[in-house]
Amino acid sequence: MDNRYTPFGYHVEDGAISIAETEAAIIRQIFSDYIGGKSLKEIAAELTVRKVEYLPQKWQWNKNRVVRVINDIRYLGKDVYAAIVDESTFRKAQDMKLARNTQTEYDRNTVISQSVTNLVCGKCGSHAMRVHDNRSKFGQKYVCTNKECGTEYRISADMMITMIADLIPKDILASSETDKPDIMMEIHQMEQEIARAIEYADRDTEQIRRMILECANKKYQAASSGRANLDKVKQNISREDFTVNRKVVMELVSQIKLISDEEIEITLINGQVLRKENPDGDNSTIE
């Protein structure tokens, strides 16, 4: 399956991440056009007509893909990435987006809250809630519900979607397990209880039979529902026009841990944990 492991605008050269000049020119043009007044839809349509490839042989751009470029702070020169746009240009684009969001381009499909998936504070592990904040340039923030912690994460809806999308390579589900860790732990505990019950001299065979049937049923439910969910996600994620939105996050992500204003960690429905890309290029861990 076609995929890329560096953001649009970069490539790996001599073992290091460097700027892909042709793509970098496209990124600068996107910022320029957006600041100049063109809509996300207009920019996407022009890139599609020009057949600008974001993946090999894939050039069908849409609003979400364009806004991911505009929101990507790595283009400022973050971590291992060299700067493609300057901070003034980046901020102008964010201000423009904020102004338009109050008019016609606000998309509820980008709003991630506790009703979508489990949001937790990266500092204390408590729930985090999305709240409106008119003083924030984004008009929103995420706040830890633990009053003793109270950590605030200033992340816009579009930035949240971009962060999630950047952590989900299209082949990430191919080699992952299908069952959630908590379900597997429950099954393991049931098996241990059955083994202990069988060891007793005065064992209740009818009770053991019921326990075995209950355990078997739990295994079947875990396997069938896990495969069904992942098959559905894999089918959607392989589509050429696939984009991450609120519905996709509900289907695919069981938890989002907020690390900072610029970083999150997500747990997929199969228990796989995905973090920000490490220097060696590996952005996933299994816990």
Predicted confidence at residue 10, as pLDDT, reads 93
Distance CA 140, CA 154 (A): 7
What pTM does this model have?
0.48
- Amino acid identity of 109? N
SS (H, E, C) the chain: CCCCCCCCCEEEECCEEEECHHHHHHHHHHHHHHHCCCCHHHHHHHHHHCCCCCECCECCCCHHHHHHHHHCHHHHCCCCCCCCCCHHHHHHHHHHHHHHHCCCCCCHHHCCCCCCCEEEECCCCCEEEEEECCCCCCCEEEEECCCCCCCEECCCHHHHHHHHHHCCCCCCCCCCCCCCHHHHHHHHHHHHHHHHHHHCCCCCHHHHHHHHHHHHHHHHHHHHHHHHHHHHHHHHHCCCCCCCCHHHHHHHEEEEEEEECCEEEEEECCCEEECCCCCCCCCEEEC
pLDDT at 253: 87
Confidence of residue 225 (pLDDT cuts 50, 70, 90): low
> Strands 10-13 and 16-19: what pairing?
antiparallel
Measured distance CA(212)–CA(28) in Å, rounded = 62
Write the pLDDT tens digit of every residue in 7-16.
Answer: 899 998 888 8
Take residue 160 and report the two structure tokens written for it: 């949240």
**C-alpha to C-alpha distance for 53 and 4, rounded to whole angstroms:** 12
Q: What local confidence, expressed as pLDDT, does residue 47 receive? A: 95
> Can you give the pLDDT at residue 215?
73
Taking residues 219-241, what's their average pLDDT? 58
**Could you tell me which of 209, 185, 186 has the C-alpha nearest to residue 198?**
209
What is the pLDDT at residue 97? 80
Would the pLDDT of 258 be above 80?
yes
User: What's the confidence (pLDDT) of residue 78?
Assistant: 79
Query: Residue 128 pLDDT more than 70?
Result: yes
Confidence of residue 19 (pLDDT cuts 50, 70, 90): very high
CA 63 – CA 45 distance, rounded (Å): 9
- Among 88-102, 105-119, 173-187, 258-272, name the one with the lowest average pLDDT: 173-187
Beta-sheet pairing, 263-268 with 253-260: antiparallel
**Confidence band (pLDDT; 50, 70, 90) for 241?**
low
Q: Is residue 282 very low, low, confident or very high in pLDDT (cuts 50, 70, 90)? A: very low
229 has pLDDT over 60: no
Instruction: Give the CA distances from residue 136 to residues 132, 140, 153, 285, in Å, rounded to whole numbers and listed in that order.
Output: 9, 6, 11, 33
Q: How many residues in the chain?
A: 287
How confident is the model at residue 107, as a pLDDT?
A: 54
User: What is the average pLDDT across 88-117?
Assistant: 74
Tokens of 84: 């493609």
Average pLDDT over residues 115-131: 90
How confident is the model over 35-78, as pLDDT tens digits?
998 999 899 999 999 999 988 888 899 888 898 899 888 899 97
